[in-house]
Amino acid sequence: MGLRERTAAVLQLKKDFQSPASAGTSPVEQASPTHASWLRQPDPGLIGNEQTHQWLLPWVFGALFIIGVVTAVRGWQQVQHAAASASWPYTRGVIVSSEVEAYSSSEGVRWRPVITYAYRVGKREVVGTRVNLVDPVSAFNEADAREYAERYRLHGDALVYYNPERVNESVLDQSAPHTAYLSINLGLALATASAALLMLSVRSGRRVPRTQPAIAS
């Protein structure tokens, strides 16, 4: 057999080996047609859930930012309110009663000290009940409330700070509660962290394309 006959036989063998249906099919599609079609067409449900999560995160971080700002502002208002009595004059007073009372709240039964004192401004005798200008002092248990009430013993002397414009407005303590400073610190920390996460989520959402082109078959 000559060279031409051998070449023709090899070409004929290649043609017989290749079928018309598989001539334009890639090896990946021959191995698994179903898997190849899955690669060409992404699941629209998964894409929709991903886009929903991307747009939901900014709203969550925005809400946390607002909560942090409100918490910090409330703490700052308590500090400023307590500082309003810093320039008030003071006078000597006497403790009339120092007791503890229970009251119900959303957190259960709580206890708070109730202090009553009397003081004199000029010829006017006034009775006061406020310890400070912020919210009334309260405690979770009776022992803490009684410990606070012991600071103002019955018939003991006390310095009374009064408003010179309204002498019936008075306090025994000019300092702000520790919870006010705690609210400021926690509020600022929450607002700062949520603002940073909000900016990152918005930037990442802008970088993700809205539509993803399908892979050509």
What CATH number matches the domain at 87-173, 2.40.50, 3.40.1000, 1.25.40, 3.30.110? 2.40.50
Is residue 47 pLDDT above 60, yes or no? no
Per-residue confidence (pLDDT) for residue 80, from 0 to 100 = 81
For residue 115, the cross-strand partners are: 98
CB contact at 8 A, 149 and 108 = no
> Model-level pTM?
0.53
Asked whether the predicted pLDDT for residue 103 surpasses 50, the reply is yes
Mean pLDDT of the chain, nearest integer:
76
Which tens digits make up the pLDDT trace of 137-182? Answer: 666 788 888 888 888 888 789 999 999 999 999 999 887 777 778 8
Instruction: Provide the residue ranges of all domains of the chain, joining segments of one domain with +.
Output: 51-86+175-205, 87-173
Averaged pLDDT for residues 87-91: 91
Q: pLDDT band at residue 116, thresholds of 50, 70 and 90?
A: very high
